[in-house]
Structures are given as C-alpha cells and as structure tokens.
Chain A
C-alpha cells in the first residue's frame, strides 16, 4: 500500500482511542474480578492486552460502518460504541441486556451502533462481513465493514472463502486478523504454515499489512488507509495485528500450562495503554489531568454498569420461547 499522504489523528480521535482502550481494560478487569469471585457468567474470553486492535480500527470507522467479531468480542463491542450497561447486564443474564439475556458474552450484538454480533463459531463473522459488503454495494450507502478474526480462525474454510469473495467483488471490507499467538493453547507456529497471516493476502489478491497490534496509533494508520481504500471502491485489505492476550483463552483457562510468565511480562512491558499514554504525554497531545479524568470516568461507568446489571430484573420464564421465529412481517400474507 502506498501512503501518499500522512494523515494524523485529530484530538477527538486521540481522546477516543484512550477512552475506549481504557474502558475496555476496566470492563474486562472488573469482570474478571467478578468471575474469579464467583459471578456465574459462563464462558468469557477477556480482551485485555488486545485493546489497541479493536480501538485503532474503530477509530478509523464512521459510526454507521459495520463490524463483525469473534468469540473474544467485548473489546470490539466497546470500541464500536455498545453501551457498557446493557453489555454487563447481558453477562448477568438480565432482561435489560443487549440480547435480553439470551445471548451472553459470546453473542453480544447491537446493530444500532453497527455491531453485527460477537460470534463464537470461529470465522463465521468474515462471511457475514461479505453480506454487509454486498449490502453496501446494492444499497450504495458507502458503509465499510471491519471484520475481526483471530489467527486461529484464519485456518477455517469460511475465512478463505470470504477473503476470496471480498476480493473478486471488490467489497468495502477491512479484514483484521488479531494474531495473539495462541488458538486456545495451540501456538501459531504449529498451526499456520506461513510466518505471517498477512502473507496469505497475496493468495486472495489483496494487500496484506502487518502492524504492531500493541500500538493503537500504528493500527489506526493501517486501518485508516484500508478504510479509505475500501470506501473508494478499491476493495478489501488484510491487516494482521500482532498482539497478545493477557489472560487465558477463556475464564477457565490457565495460560501457564502452555506459556511462560517471562513471555507474558515481555508482552505487558509493551502494554498498549501504557505506550499510548507515553506517546501523547511526551508529545503534549493530551495532559495528565485529561487522561486521569478519563480513567476516573471509566471507573464510574463500570461501577454504574455493574450496579445496573445487579439491579436489573431477570427474564420471566415465558421468555424461554419468545423470539424463536422472526415475525413474518406485513408483506408475507399471513
């Protein structure tokens, strides 16, 4: 990709990146504390450590653009603007949840902010992105779709089918491969035949870009160029973000079975939030007071989300069998 001009982040975008990255971290770490002390939320896949990816990409999108997600989706949701109160309520299985308590962590969805669903059948989100891309083409609404998937999912057929179709139809999609090094406990070096997921882009006839996924600004730069390319009708891009998840695969997983604390420490030393703070402070782009105020506000937002979730009502038993079939709608002649 040729960067004929260097676009810089606006003040609002810088603020957006810090706010959303720290809100994700606060959400996940608070949730982890709750889960570790007995909150029964089922399977949860924490996004801590990978925040720069979701936020860097979403900083390059417009509010009405679409994203598709993975099983590790809380970060994508918050980055795209899903309200943390109904998100937390969903994890508590409350009727005020994003999905009325019927989806849980692995299905959080809010189409009103362009979030097409956390999706734990890995790779399927990339196929849904193809559909969103076709919609943009037919409806001519200029919407771009960012489709997140993990390096583990990059081996499933659905992903290969999607990237090929996106390319032959020049769909306005940015594929974002979050390479955190492990599919559950299986290391990428074992499971993937090439050194970089981005190398596969050549096989789909699209540009492949490798970025430091623990650097929000680097992610944004790559995403911004790819989004511009997509919106201009030049087709999809594959961005591989090399990143790291701080916790196990899921809430029940002990990562020390398959990786060392030294490796974790190396990743944490490159923490995306810490590095972003240093970047904006040394360049006087944001003030310490401004950042601290955002931190404090995030703490309050998550307090509020937990209180909202705890106080919300559970679904009534009759909801077990509601919304099974989509109502036929006015045209179906029933």
Chain B
C-alpha cells in the first residue's frame, strides 16, 4: 500500500532513492563500482559530475565498507560482486556503461548467470548489475557524441543468457520499483538505464519503498489498430507516435516490455490478439536483437492473430557514429515509428 505523497523525481533520483531505502533496510546490501563513492580515501568524499548523481550521499550515510570505490577493474569487481553474493552480501554493482561489458562478460555470463544452475540450485546469487545504455536522439542537446564504444544498447547479449533477469525501466516510477525488486531478488538481475530519457526522465514517485514486478510488461496506452511494443526510452517514442497517429484516426496500443528476460509473452500476445498488428521498436542493432526475438515469438505463437506482417523499427546495422549530424539518425524516432505504422496499415 503506497500511502506517502508522490513527488516529482528524475529517473536517476528515483534509482538512488531505491538504493538508499534498501540499504537502510538491509545491512548486507553494498554498492561497488568505479567512482560510486567519489574520491574514496579522501577526507570528505562526495561524488561530483554526471556519474556522481548515481551515488550521491551514499558514502556519507553508509560508509566506505558498504559503498566501495574500485580501481579500473571491471572483471575484478563484477567478480567480487559474484563472490560477495555467494557469501552473504547483496551487492549492487555499478557498471557505468553497458559498452564495458566486454571486459567483464565472463563474470556475468559464465559466473553470475550460471552458478545456480551449475550447482544444482544450491547457491543463490542476489546481485544487481546496474548499467546505462543508449545513443543520443536528435531531439536532445545534452550528452551524446560518445561514439561507438560508449553509446551502445547491446542488452540482447544479456537477455540471451539463461539465468539472468534483465529489466529496462522507462519511467522514474517503474525504475524505483524495478530496482527494489531487483535488489530483493535472490538471483542476478541487470537493471538498464537509458541515458537520454528526455521528458520521460521526470515523473511522480512515491516516497516509500515499493516493488514493481520483474517479468511483467505493461500496456501503457490502449488502442485497437496496432500494437507498438517498445523497450525503455522507445516507449516514450511510441507514445509520441501514438498521439500523432491518433490525430489521424489510427489508434495504437503501446506495450512497454520492461523486462527483457524472462519476457512477458502473454501481455504482448494478448495485445496483438486485440489489435492484429505488431510493430516492435528497439534502439539496439537488428541482428539477433530483442526486436526480432519478440517478432519471432509472436510469429510462432500468435500468427493466427495477425492481419499484416510484423514490422520492426531498430537502429541501423552500424556502430553508433560520433558526429551529431549522424547520431541523430541512429535510434528510432516518433517519425520513423509512425511511418512504419503507415506502411504496415497501407494508409
């Protein structure tokens, strides 16, 4: 029961509040990562800069034993989180960019995700990996320009791994709830944060702790003509597209996937059964992507519902470019989504 009055928070503030509330509740929760404490070892460490907002105030409240600045050692500190989770702690490990996953992929794929299965269910792995993803949209003026190794989406390589739960919140409200659920989950959960939520980055958030179910998609707009199935920031793009389409008399339903693994097929299939058309919107590159996985599942299990071929709107089959003049065309936009719907409907 959520009783306290909601206030408006940013996405990052909502996530930080989730961590703070949970750390107060459970002394076994630790935060570990690069610069999470901000100048640890100094007399008065306090995070500064863009990443600072992710951990502001934590070291002051919880101390350096539980808020642990690491050396540049992703393979080492993600592995440390795995070991800590097996020996009594509930680590939240902060991998600042998903692009860094290459240097610690083994810890996520071979260690965290598989320990429970490999060990016959006899160990748990209560760890959270939080990380950021996404390229800058043309509508945004902050950030961006980070090019091919700091702007990727890439979450399909995590969703691919059996045993990992992967969530992509889209609003401050579901971000706080999903992160609290992830922290309380006894298995490994990856929580992804889009860096460019824009207007979607602010929203009403209750003050107290609450959970948001992992493994559940949400219909965030109802409509009868087409289902737009979206992930993270793309949900906002789909809502924008749906508003535009509504002005033309096309009613789009928008499904926010929220959890990539395990995927809530039922909510997607039920929506497609109502609308008989599906457009999947994903800012990741297309080959072996979530977009094509969702499309394949619906083709497999819901083909009879469909009145038109499934469409996908994704990033191009290319790395993220540096130049703003190019980057602005990288991720799907409300325009490209609406154009795809027109194409699919033939009107």
Contact = CB atoms under 8 A, between A and B. Distances in A.
A127 interface: yes
Interface string A197-222: 00000000000000000000000000
Contact of B181 (A109, A157, A162, A332): A332
Contacts of A195: none
B111 interface: yes
A116 B87 contact: yes
Nearest to B212: A333
A329 to B, nearest CB: 4
14 contacts: A100-B122, A109-B123, A116-B83, A127-B82, A131-B81, A131-B83, A131-B91, A134-B32, A138-B28, A138-B65, A158-B79, A164-B76, A329-B185, A332-B185
Contacts of A77: none
Given A99-B119, A161-B76, A127 B83 contact: yes
Interface residues of B, number: 59
Nearest to B79: A127
A117 interface: yes
Nearest to A328: B185
A114 to B, nearest CB: 9
A131 B82 contact: yes
B110 A132 contact: no
B68 interface: yes
Contacts of B75: 127, 157-158, 161
A174 B134 CA distance: 41
Interface string B194-232: 000000000000000011111100000000000000000
Nearest to B213: A334
A135 B68 CA distance: 12
Contact of A99 (B86, B120, B215): B120
B46 interface: no
Contact of B82 (A128, A139, A157, A324): A128
Q: Which of B68, B81, B87, B163 has most A Cβ within 10 Å?
A: B87
Contacts of B28: 138-139
A223 interface: no
Contacts of B78: 127
Contacts of B279: none
Interface in A103-147: 103, 107, 109-111, 116-117, 119, 121, 124, 126-139, 141, 143
B187 A325 contact: yes
A334 B167 CA distance: 14
A128 B119 CA distance: 15
A322 interface: yes
A124 B112 CA distance: 11
B188 interface: yes
B51 interface: no
Nearest to A157: B75
B118 A103 contact: yes
Which of A121, A127, A132 lies at the interface centre, i.e. has the most chain B CB atoms within 10 A of its CB?
A127
A331 B189 CA distance: 14
Q: Which of A102, A131, A325 has the most CB of B within 10 A?
A: A131
A70 to B, nearest CB: 14
A292 interface: no
A327 B187 contact: yes
A126 B212 CA distance: 35
Interface string B74-116: 0111111111111111010000000000000011001100011
Interface string B26-39: 01101010000000
Interface in B118-164: 118-126, 162-163
Given A121-B111, A138-B28, A165-B71, A326 B185 contact: yes
A329 B186 CA distance: 6
Given A127-B83, A128-B111, A162-B76, A333 B122 contact: no
B106 A121 contact: yes
A125 to B, nearest CB: 9
Contacts of B212: 333
Interface in A257-289: none
A88 B65 CA distance: 40
B296 interface: no
Given A100-B120, A131-B91, 6 more contacts: A131-B86, A132-B87, A157-B75, A328-B187, A332-B214, A334-B213
A116 B181 contact: no
A38 B163 CA distance: 33
A111 B86 contact: yes
B71 A161 contact: yes
Nearest to B115: A117
Interface string A135-178: 11111010100000000000001100110110011000000000
B125 A326 contact: yes
Interface in B222-271: 262
B119 A165 contact: no
Give the one of B30, B106, B123, B212 with max A CB within 10 A. Answer: B123
B76 A158 contact: yes
B66 A138 contact: yes
Instruction: Kindly list the 5 A-B residue pairs having the minimum CB-CB distance in the complex, ordered from nearest.
Output: A131-B83, A127-B79, A333-B211, A326-B187, A161-B76
A329 B214 CA distance: 12
Given A99-B119, A135-B84, A135-B87, A130 B79 contact: yes
B107 to A, nearest CB: 7
B292 interface: no
Given A134-B30, A139-B28, A328 B214 contact: yes
B184 interface: yes
B336 interface: no
A137 B66 CA distance: 9
